[in-house]
Structure 1
Amino acid sequence: MAGILDGVDQRTKLAGHNRLELLLFRLAGRQRFGINVFKVQEVIQCPALTQLPGSHPVVRGIANMRGKTITVMDLSQSIGGPPLDNIEGRFVIITEYNRRIQGFLVGSVDRIVNMNWGDILPPPKGAAKGSYMTAVTRVDDELVEIIDVEKVLSEIVGSAEGVSEGVIEEDAIDETQHVLIADDSSVARNQVKRVLDRLGVMTTVCNDGKQALDQLKAWTEEGKHVPGFLALVISDVEMPVMDGYTLTTEIRKDPTLANLHIILHTSLSGVFNQTMIEKVGANAFLAKYEPDELARVVQARLKQHKLEVQALNS
């Protein structure tokens, strides 16, 4: 697979234009799946794995790669499919999610395709509850499923869910303040909402950037002064229909919304996102997922918003 991920600098130019590139692969059958190239560090032939006694059933072992020990998980088994056999002939996709590097064992790797986020759609309404699909698209007239990797990792690795004692400041919020959340992963949405519920702040939750933008415009059409009650927008970057970069750009273009405070909360590369938040005009980037860090950032913004509202009303 040498060369399949060459040219990342060229791919960076896609961001901010509601475009992405998907690495297509198969697991145990003919169904094709996709993953955003920006979350992929490398694709390699499966190396020799060392099994870990007592590990999660989907963990096939660990491997030493470029001086790092990386856990390799069977992605087919992780989403309820059969375990992959003959792993010596399989591939490992090395990824970075939520500040962790891990390998996913897959059956075969197809190719990279250039897509528009508008062609990446939410899962069908009939999809089973608990599905591992976060989105779907079509390539060569075939359905491609995009896996909710955050859901997979939360079930296998787990994540910190609660806010630590002493982090919450009881006077940080005002009962009239509101936060808009946009994220296509049900796991990520619930993680953020739990923190905000713990802070006592009201929230509106959307599944993608288009839903979030429509909600903002609906509030405006109702005659609400959105910056007066909406303290913050917390948006994922990777979302079907409209990504977080495009959502930010659209908000900045609307005179009634342009001054909203926007945090991009994502599992993508931090270095890459720092460049992009400057390009599209977001206020900050926050890597997923540390509940204490999220709580501190949100509380700081709520305090600032209270002062802004007081200044407007004085």
Structure 2
Amino acid sequence: MAGVLDSVNQRTQLVGQNRLELLLFRLKGQQLYGINVFKVKEVLQCPPLNEIPNRNPVVRGVAHIRGGTISIMDLNQAIGRAPLDNISECFVIITEYNRSTQGFLVGAVERIVNMNWEDIHPPPKGAGKENYLTAVTEIEGKLVEIIDVEKILAEINPLSEEVSAGVIEDGIAERVVKKHILIADDSAIARKQVSRVIEQMGIATTLMKDGREALEYLQGLVKQGKNVSDELILIISDIEMPEMDGYTFTAEVRNTPELKGLYIILHTSLSGVFNEAMVKKVGANDFLAKFNPDDLARRVNEQVIRMTGESMLEDQGE
């Protein structure tokens, strides 16, 4: 156990090659769960927690860690189950999602495993729309469930999906009335957040749940004889996705002559520990940390202007 706890921070740089490392943990019982090590800052025995008034029941309290105060969320309770018992014997996984740091209370931490994204699959279709999974995999004959943390965070502390007044350029949608934006993300909540911003701009979207599905969609357009650059404004892709991650997806697009000119933004909750050199290595045009509606809208504004002209005022004769 000590080896796992001591090594997490040293093992967050495994990117590219469609690979990842999963930190395996348990909540109650024998079911295994996994979280990408790339999102983990630290793992520690649960420290003393201080209760806060009017807290969400999922937040068991706050802890003072490394000079800061962090909310500790009961992951078992967050997915609709009973609160974890014996908190002092539990562990906290400190993570960074959506530009913030939070701790997840878990029953036990197991080990780290090195995997290929191709071995991680979307949840079974029979799991229903309200499940808390983004993916599943199998390790040594045991099912491992990967929880949709973004869905949990959206329920506990909902993020605004509204774009501020004045951010969306006047007439932006009219410039690209026959084009759309491709969005690839394994989290249904994240897809909804992004598409909601784009819809406020009056621009159409096409949604895909992972990199492989997005790539097959693009390849399908090519087979139909379409000029994909005439169809798409840009692609907004998550990095962490089953089947094919955002890095590999981007590299595949760049290696396909009919697709290589597409504008790609990697939009991810891998904010604080993100290696921006990897964006350049795979050929993405931009990186944007989740989730800020105004930042996202501005990036779309900028790309539309790049595609259609330098100034919005030129079209107005000013």
Q: Identify the TM-score tier after normalising by the shorter chain.
A: over 0.9
Compared CA separation, residues 11 and 100, structure 1 to 2 (3 A): closer
Shift of 1:128: 2.1
Whole-angstrom distance in 1 between the partners of 2:271 and 2:204: 29
Give structure 1 regions of 4+ aligned residues with deviation exceeding 6 angstroms.
Answer: none
Name 1:6's counterpart in structure 2: 7
Partner SS for 1:200: coil
Shift of 1:193: 0.3
Shift of 1:169: 1.3
Look up the equivalent residue of 1:260 and give its one-letter code: L
Matches within 5 A, 1:43-82: 43-82=43-82
1:277 pairs with one of 273, 276, 279: 279
| Aligned residues with identical type, % of pairs | 59
Name 2:32's counterpart in structure 1: 32
Whole-angstrom distance in 1 between the partners of 2:221 and 2:215: 10
Matches within 5 A, 1:87-126: 87-126=87-126
Look up the equivalent residue of 1:84 and give its one-letter code: L
Name 1:246's counterpart in structure 2: 248
Compared CA separation, residues 105 and 117, structure 1 to 2 (3 A): same
Alpha-carbon RMSD across the aligned residues, in angstroms, is 1.4
Name 2:84's counterpart in structure 1: 84
Whole-angstrom distance in 2 between the partners of 1:102 and 1:300: 32
Look up the equivalent residue of 1:77 and give its one-letter code: Q
Whole-angstrom distance in 1 between the partners of 2:242 and 2:156: 25
Matches within 5 A, 1:197-212: 197-212=199-214
Whole-angstrom distance in 2 between the partners of 1:80 and 1:38: 26
Compared CA separation, residues 91 and 185, structure 1 to 2 (3 A): same
Structure 1 alignment gaps of length 5 or more: 309-314
1:187 pairs with one of 179, 186, 189: 189
Structure 2 alignment gaps of length 5 or more: 311-318
Whole-angstrom distance in 2 between the partners of 1:47 and 1:161: 34
Whole-angstrom distance in 2 between the partners of 1:255 and 1:8: 38
Shift of 1:7: 7.0
Q: Deviations over 1:97-135 (max 9, x none)?
A: 000100000000000000100000000000022100000
Shift of 1:229: 2.4
Look up the equivalent residue of 1:89 and give its one-letter code: E
Compared CA separation, residues 297 and 258, structure 1 to 2 (3 A): same
1:267 pairs with one of 254, 263, 269: 269
Greater CA drift, 154-163 or 71-80: 154-163
Verify the 8 A CA contact 1:28 1:83 in the aligned structure 2: no
Q: Deviations over 1:79-113 (max 9, x none)?
A: 01110010000000000000010000000000000
Name 2:237's counterpart in structure 1: 235
Compared CA separation, residues 166 and 182, structure 1 to 2 (3 A): same
Greater CA drift, 146-155 or 169-178: 169-178
Whole-angstrom distance in 1 between the partners of 2:67 and 2:149: 25
Whole-angstrom distance in 1 between the partners of 2:211 and 2:308: 26
Look up the equivalent residue of 1:305 and give its one-letter code: M
Whole-angstrom distance in 2 between the partners of 1:136 and 1:51: 34
Shift of 1:28: 1.4
Verify the 8 A CA contact 1:28 1:81 in the aligned structure 2: no
Partner SS for 1:249: helix
Matches within 5 A, 1:16-27: 16-27=16-27
Verify the 8 A CA contact 1:38 1:269 in the aligned structure 2: no
How many residues matched?
307
Shift of 1:210: 0.4
Name 1:312's counterpart in structure 2: none
2:223 pairs with one of 221, 226, 244: 221
Look up the equivalent residue of 1:31 and give its one-letter code: Q
